[in-house]
Structures are given as structure tokens and as C-alpha cells.
Structure 1
Amino acid sequence: MPSSSALPLDPLTRRTALRAAGAGALLLGTGGGLAGCRSAVNAEEGSAGPKRGGTLTIAINQDFTPALLFTQTGQSLQNRLIYNTLIRYDDDLEPQPELATSWEYAPDGKSITLKLRDDVTYHDGRKFTADDVVFAVENLRKPERSAQLAATAKAVTGFEKRGDHELVVKLAHPVSNLFDLFEFMIITDRHSVEDAVKGKKLNGTGPFRFKRWRPGTGLSLARNEKYWKPDRPYLDAVELRVYTQPDALLSALRSGQAQLSYHVSGKHLATLKSSSGFTIKQYDTGNGAVYVGATLDEAPADSKAFRQAIAWAVDRDRVVDQALGGYGLASAAPWPKSSPAYSEANRTHYTHDPGKARELLKSSGVPTSRTLPLGHPTTPLHTAIAEIVQYDLQQIGIKTELQPFDPASFQKKLISGTMPTLWVNGHGFAQVQPATLAVSAYPFNEARNTSHFRSAEYTEAVQDAWRQKDADGAKAHARYQKISDLLLDEAFIIDLAVQDSVQVAAEKLRGPALTKFSYLNLDDAHLV
């Protein structure tokens, strides 16, 4: 599209025009600091500014899985440390410059012109150019990458390069989540991507260089001395260390072996409420949600009444209090309060009502003598939720047997659609533009989801919400409500609670932050 047809947008001020990227997203707040803990936002000590140096060790509960590098999972924390993205969302979900410095969106929403930084190099010294953006989009289209934003990448029909640092991205039709793609899509090195997905070489433009990956132990990263942000990062090195047992992870934090974690279990968060030596920051943003999934081509989950009985049976408040440590919102719908798709009626559509659940189960006519498999990842959070679900279902006459899977194997089953009859897991993508959930998240994808749910009405509703430039206003809200109504009625995914991310950090650590896709940003992090 000719440049004369595009309207210039100021990425820092023109919020309304840019909210095609993801209205209603995650608003990163600092609220939720616990009693007895120092505020997560601390004044700098002294006037000299941040101190350069030191190694930060991050305690994680799942190892890096190279094959899932382009898939947003609980193992994506390191992505923003090694790689950059085109934009980053601020707290108000306005796109801010990263590798893209500015953009012009065409009035019809069918193209966008990106101006790119011309002072960026990869860790191996190669210059970053528009060709790397073209590759990044095309890479996400590949089925083997299992990228949730593949549908949006596939809506790109072509590119027009205007030199090495200006690129026109052309679209088949407007998409309401284009900037979601631009924050999700890590800009990898096109010459070594196959080595990256094997864990051999991770060559990016980010603040830290890949040193090594030791399977079962974690990642080691070193400061990128030629990072394009002046004087950043402050840290010399970052170690991501795997602690699969929650007690061991907590012990690493208490002993000072680790200084940061986003994987402290709900039970242990409660014990840290009055602890000294830590800051606790709550990202009260609906960063994810926990749910029960059903495989619809397996009896009795093929019965809608059976699935609705489950939705009434589970005690969501107990899930929040016990499994999430109080850091969440009981909800029958996937949307956080910050989303334009949110409504209180959606949130409370199903509540804990065992009597109603028994009535629905009886009316469904499905036999309840068989013990059903209930799959879940072996993380402490999902194990705790699965045990709550198992107990609540037993109270209404549904017998289940827990089937644990290691997280990487579980993710592969989720992607391939080979889950057991019922399963427990978490999902993201409700915190950004609402259409992203239903065109990108494996459990909800209208074209091919884990539950094997198919509906022409659902497809029409999702496509109608997605193929829009404008994501705001009454018409957009009506489109989102139609999606919500179908999700709640069909109950192929039974949401239990919107989950908050909780950051536990040593008091001497300042400045870590999460992006909207839970990539860790340590550009400004430093030790005092």
C-alpha cells in the first residue's frame, strides 16, 4: 500500500487508534504488596544511581524446553532476556517502541509501515535489519513452531522493504490483535534458528547473551556489552536455576541462593506474608487463568449437561484461597477485570452449587460408574488444583483418577489434542486483545482446539471479533459478549479463576518486570 494512504500515528500518545493491538489488556500494577513485606517499588538508596555488576539467580520450576521456544508457556520467562520484540505494551496497553521506533497504520487496517532501529546488532555482531522481521513473521507460520499467534502471522500477505530499516507489512484483512503479535514475536537470528530450537545457540539482540543450557539445571546468560540501550543492562550475568520441588525453590530464596522467582507456590506465598528480606509484587492483571478442560469426542464429556455439571461443582473460591494463595479472582469466564470482554455476570455465571450440579448430571443421563482420567502437569499449582477438582467432582458422583504429566509432555499433548477425558491446566491470552484468546490459545482456538470442539456459530463469532481494526466501543463489546456466551454455554473449557502473577524478590534486587506475555524484562534490574 502506498505510504500516502497511511495515517501517521504517534505511538506514545495516540492510544485510541492503536488499541487495535489489544484493548483490555493486562495493566501491570504494583498493588497487592503483602503486610509485613516492603513495597515492591522502593526508592533508590543513595543518589549515585543503580550499581553495575553482580549475578542474579532466578528460581524456576520448569526447565527451558528449546523445542517450545516460539510457544508461549510457563517456560517462556527467559525470552526477553535473550531476544527483543518489535514493541512493548505499557501499563495502559499502548504500544511503545522497542526494535520498531514508530509505525503508520493504513486507514483500512490492511497495512502498517514500521520504522526500525538502525543501531542494533545480534550477539554475534550481525546487524539487525528488516529481513529479520520478515523472517520472524514467516517463522511463526510454520506448524512445527506451534506458535499461538500463528493465525495472525498468516494474515500477513506480503512485505515491502524500503531499505534495511523500514518495512511495510501487508494484511489480507484488518486484525484486531496485530500489536499482540508484535509483542509476542521474539526476533530471532534467521541464520541459526534450527540450532536455537535444539538449545545449541540462542543468538538474539537482547540484554543478555546465551552461554549454555544444562538440561535439568537451567540456563546461564552473560551481559551483552553491545546492547542498544545505553549503559544497560546493569547485571553482569543471569542464572535460571530449576527447582522442581516447591520446598527446594523456597529454600533457595530463603538461603539467598536465588534472588527472584515467579513460581512460589500458593501455600508458600502465604508463609511469606510476614517474612522479612523479600519484596512481593502482585501483577493483578489476569496474566493467566486456570481451568478444567474436556475432550468432547470422549464420553461422557461429549454431553454438554455433563460439562455444565462440572462447571457448577467446582469450588472456585477454594481454588483461589488454597491453590493460588489468595492471588486470583474466582471466575467462570477467562477475562480479567481489565478486559473489555469482562462482566460480573460472566464471572459469576457458574458458582459452587453441588445440588445444581447433581441435577444436571442426573438429567444428562450419562453413566457415572466409570472412573475418568483427570490429567494435569506435575507443577505444584496444577497438582493442587487437580486435587480440589477431584474432590469436588467426587461429591456429585463423578469419580476421577489423577494422571500427572511432566510439563513439557503435557504441553505437547495439549498442542496435539491428545488429552485425556478431563484435564486441569492454565491458559494465557485473555489479558490482551480479546480476539487473541479464541484465535491463538490452544484450548480456545476456533479452528482447532484441544477439546475438539467445533461450532459454525463459534467460528463466526470469533472471526467477526478478530477481523476488525477497531477493538473498542459498544460494537466490539457486543462481539466479545457473543464469544463469552458460547464459551459459558458449551463449557468445553471450564474456567475456574483468573490468576495473578506474583513476584518474590530479595530486598536487594530492584527493577525486574514482566511483559504482557510474561517475558522477564531485566533491562533496568540491579542489585543494591
Structure 2
Amino acid sequence: MVRSRKRWGGAAAAVCALALVLSGCRSAVQQQGAQDVVVPDTPQDGGTLVAAQGQDPAPGSFLKTSIGNILAEYSVLETLTRIDQKTGKPEGVLAKSWKVAADGKSMDVVLRDDVTFHSGAELTADDVLFTLKKVRDPATGAANQPVAAAISGMKAVGDDELKLTFSRPLPNIYDLFETMPVLNPDTYDKYAAGEVVDGTGPFEWTSWTPGAKVVLTKYPKYRDADDIHLDKIQINVITDPTAMVSAIRSGRIQYGVGMGALDAYALSRQPGFQLITAGGSAIPLTFDVRDKPFDDKRVRQAFQYAIDRERVDRQVEGGQATAASLPWRTNTIGYDDQQAGRYRYDPDKARTLLARAGVKHLSLEMVTLNTPEATGIFQIVRNNLEAVGVDVKAVPLAAAEFDGRLASGEMGAPVFLQQASNGLSPAGAVVGRAELLADGNPSHYGDDRYTELSRHLTVATGEHDQTAALHAWNDHFLDQAFAVPLITRPSMTVASRAVQGITYTQMGFMDLNHVWLARAR
């Protein structure tokens, strides 16, 4: 399927279709603090969006999907394609068209011929090849490096075309494209210092004050500049979630990313504010299967049945999560609601399974992230497990230590609560998400059947084969229960009602390119 990025042309209609719940896209007068905000039918030009995020930008990490770049990345840089959030299908950004061979082992890509970097250089196929090679290099630490590693050959055909060959069919190639902003090889060495970030997007990276803010300015020579409404975007760094809530409530910022889920939900229910959900994560309950009694799948299954997922949603996520046993987005090709509902709250069944496994009483430690969300989830998990005869003590860790243990494969406890982005397709996730890897997952789980089912996911092409491969993988994954999610949930952010047109990428990064500001009356 080939579509032009001209879908944005003309105005707010496409934005409304994608973000109806987020922005309203209707005539209204809505209260913002002490001021009335008029939200007209058509976008208004001009103004500066003042946003905030909890982490400092990382201009040397645009290929790593660093959370510090959640607001700036897709405004300054652009990718070949983006996944449409409704259909789950790719749409062209820098790619004008593309064609995959019938055997799935090669791909021809035609680039747009009207794209320039902010330095004035024209985009060419060589720039894409440079970026692909950077992603393929393990030293870069890029997202979806395993997908890029399966590209066995690449060459430019003139300035605007390239041909890729694959060692195997790559249905997850669009996951790679989504997380691969195209870089300028002539200026790339300057990116990390944050003084020059030379992209092709509608906003230029104007200045960066580490630990404080980054300022983006509208690029006047952008190919669709008439459809870009803001003059500037200022992204402040506010590391304290409580301070961020205060900043948006007082009007010092208009949009905040990084506050707690319950805080975001509560603030969004006050006059003048709106909840914007984007991307999301799965929260798996994961087991080290080397440790008894968790080498017995009946014990792992018992834990899953013991937990009240609906209560986690209500009490921790403000009703915005999904009590699902699968790690996928609901628009995933082949998603099965019945499979997703496999582990419904059933403490009696949990007790029966534990008894059959010979477990009468159990005490253990559980590693969690030291965040308000993880703490809230753990409290429910602990209470639920106590009701079936299991005593649990939390071992909360800072993110850096948690990630270090996860990378080493030694979590230091037999059970742990994770947080994993569910933005990737299944074909991308089984080679890109730690807890789902067939080889080297932190559960130390593995068998030939799981390896083969994971391989089938990575090579299945066409909706029928992808659905069949996913259904078979799901069955095995749910039966073995080594990393089944408790919930999946979106990221929750809050904006003033004056802010219209925010959208997001498959990976949960925010797209501010078509934001506009309604005027205070």
C-alpha cells in the first residue's frame, strides 16, 4: 500500500479523524482556568507551545527511541514511513512509494523529491543508506537493530531511489522505518552536542540548554509549511511529577508528559484541561523459571489467575488501561479478544493450581520499579497473592538499576514486574522486547517450540498468515505464562484545552507538528 503524506494537506480534518477524543475539533467555548478559550472549527496560526517532559532531551540518541526525545524527535526529524494508528498500516513520510517483492525478500523505495534538511542540503538515497548502516551497527544501540541486521544488501538507484534486499522476509520492516529518523551524514557528528540537529521536519532545533529546555522554531522552507501552525515549540524539563502538575495547572506550561497516571487523569477532569492518551506499555508479571517452584507452569498460571486486573485498572490507571493477557495493541493484525482475556480473576482456580503443584505456602521477593505506578500495582498484587497463600515483599529499584539487571538477565528475585512498550508489531517485538525474546529473555525461558513460533512471526507475510502465526504464538505464550501482562495501558498526558491537534506515533512518541492554539477570549 502506498499513500502520500499529503493527507495532512488542508487542514484539521485529518487531525480530527485521528484525534477526535483528544482535541474535540468542534466549535466550543471551554473553560481554561480563569479564561474562556474559543475552539473554532479551523486551526489558527501563530504562537508558541510551551510543553514539559520529565527527562532531558538526548540529541545523540535519536536512533534509540530515547524517552528524552519524546516531544522533539518527530518534529525535527522524519522517518521513511509511519504506522497509521487506526489501520495499523504504513503511510509514507519521506518515502513517496515502495514495493515489496512477491517473495518478501527485497524492497524498492522511492523518496520524495521535495525534501531538504534544515542546513539546506537536499535529501538523497545516500542519506537513507547512511542511516540504515548506523542502525545496523550494534555499537549504535539503535532500536530495531535486529531487523536492520536482516537487510543483506542496500544500494542507491540515483538520488531518489534505493533497493533493499533481505536475508528473509521482513514483515517488521515498517517497525524499523518508524524508529529510524533519517540523518544527514554531513552534520551527524554534531548532533550529540545538541548545537546542530539537522533534520528534515517542520521545526528546526534552535537551542538546547541541558537540564532546562530545548527550543524548536518553524522551518520556513518546509515542503508543507502552510500546514504548520505554530511559530515555536518550547520544551521545558521538569523532573518532579508534582511540579509538572502545578506548572500545567498554573498555566506556566500548556502540555505535560511525565506525570503519574492518576494525577493526569484527575487533572484532566478539571475545567480547562484534557487527557491525551498515546502509545502505551504492557506491564508483564515475569518469572525466572530457573527458580523453584516457578519452573512449574502451573505455579506461574496460578499467579496470573490470582491477580485482579480490573482492580489494577480502576485503582492505579484511572480506568484507562485494558485488563489484557496479551502484550499487543488491539489494532494488531490477528488480535484475539478471547486469548487476551485468558487470565481473568479467579482466586479459587489459583489455589487449585498451587495445590496441584504441591505449593502449600510460599514467601518470596518481587522486584519492581520505584515509581508510583509500580508501587500501586504491587500493593494490589501483594494483597491478591496473600489471599491465595503467597507472601510477597517488594524490592523497588531505580530505573537505571532495574534496566541494568534486566540487561544482564539477573533480576535478583524470582518474580518481577516489568514495563515494556507495546508499540512494536509482533514480528518486531519477539526480536526487540527483552521479555519476549526466544533466546536471552530475563525469564531464562526457552524451548524449541517457542523458538519456532517466534520465527514464524518474523517471516509471516499477508494478513492470513500473520493472523495464524500470531494465534499459535499466543496460545503457547499464555500456556507457559512466563511473562504474561497484567494490563496494557496508554501513556497519559495532559494539555490545556487551548492546545489542539496533538497526535502520536506507534511507539508513543508525540507528534506536535500540526498543533495549534485556540485563543483566549
Fold-level similarity (TM above 0.5): yes
Residue pairs, 1:122-521, within 5 angstroms = 122-191=117-186, 193=188, 196=191, 201-231=196-226, 233-272=228-267, 274-282=269-277, 287-365=280-358, 370-376=363-369, 378-421=370-413, 422-429=415-422, 431=423, 433-470=425-462, 472-473=463-464, 475-521=465-511
- The answer to whether 1:84 aligns with 2:68 is no
Query: Could you say which residue in structure 2 is the equivalent of 1:110?
Result: 105
Contact 1:59–1:240 (Cα < 8 Å) also in 2: yes
2:492, 2:431 → 1: CA distance?
Answer: 27
CA drift of 1:308 comes to: 1.8
Structure 2 length-normalised TM: 0.85
- The answer to whether 1:41 aligns with 2:33 is no
Moved runs in structure 1, 4+ residues, more than 6 A?
A: none
2:191, 2:359 → 1: CA distance?
Answer: 48
Aligned-partner SS, 1:112: strand
Which piece of structure 1 moves more, 459-468 or 448-457? 448-457
1:419-445 CA-partner distances (Å, limit 9, x unpaired)? 33332232224x553322212222212
Aligned-partner SS, 1:123: coil
Distance change in 2, residues 1:256/1:352 (3 Å): same
Aligned-partner SS, 1:158: strand
Contact 1:209–1:222 (Cα < 8 Å) also in 2: yes
1:380-437 CA-partner distances (Å, limit 9, x unpaired)? 32332233223333333433333333334434443443433332232224x5533222
Contact 2:131–2:183 (Cα < 8 Å) also in 1: yes
Pairwise CA RMSD of aligned residues?
Answer: 3.0
1:42, 1:516 → 2: CA distance?
Answer: 26
Query: Could you say which residue in structure 2 is the equivalent of 1:21?
Result: none
Task: Give the paired residue count.
Answer: 495
Contact 2:88–2:331 (Cα < 8 Å) also in 1: no
Distance change in 2, residues 1:204/1:287 (3 Å): same
Paired letter, 1:133: V
Distance change in 2, residues 1:120/1:340 (3 Å): closer
Aligned-partner SS, 2:198: coil
Structure 1 length-normalised TM: 0.84
1:28, 1:483 → 2: CA distance?
Answer: 33
Aligned-partner SS, 2:454: helix
- The answer to whether 1:527 aligns with 2:520 is no
Contact 1:291–1:426 (Cα < 8 Å) also in 2: yes
CA drift of 1:81 comes to: 2.1
CA drift of 1:167 comes to: 0.6
Aligned-partner SS, 2:63: coil
CA drift of 1:98 comes to: 1.0
Which piece of structure 1 moves more, 188-197 or 477-486? 188-197
Paired letter, 1:87: T
Contact 2:82–2:93 (Cα < 8 Å) also in 1: yes
CA drift of 1:46 comes to: 5.7
Distance change in 2, residues 1:363/1:520 (3 Å): same
Contact 1:287–1:500 (Cα < 8 Å) also in 2: yes
CA drift of 1:276 comes to: 1.2
CA drift of 1:234 comes to: 2.8
Contact 2:135–2:142 (Cα < 8 Å) also in 1: yes
Contact 2:368–2:375 (Cα < 8 Å) also in 1: no
CA drift of 1:459 comes to: 1.3
Query: Could you say which residue in structure 1 is the equivalent of 2:10?
Result: none
Which piece of structure 1 moves more, 337-346 or 413-422? 413-422
Contact 1:287–1:518 (Cα < 8 Å) also in 2: yes
Aligned-partner SS, 2:418: strand
Distance change in 2, residues 1:11/1:108 (3 Å): farther
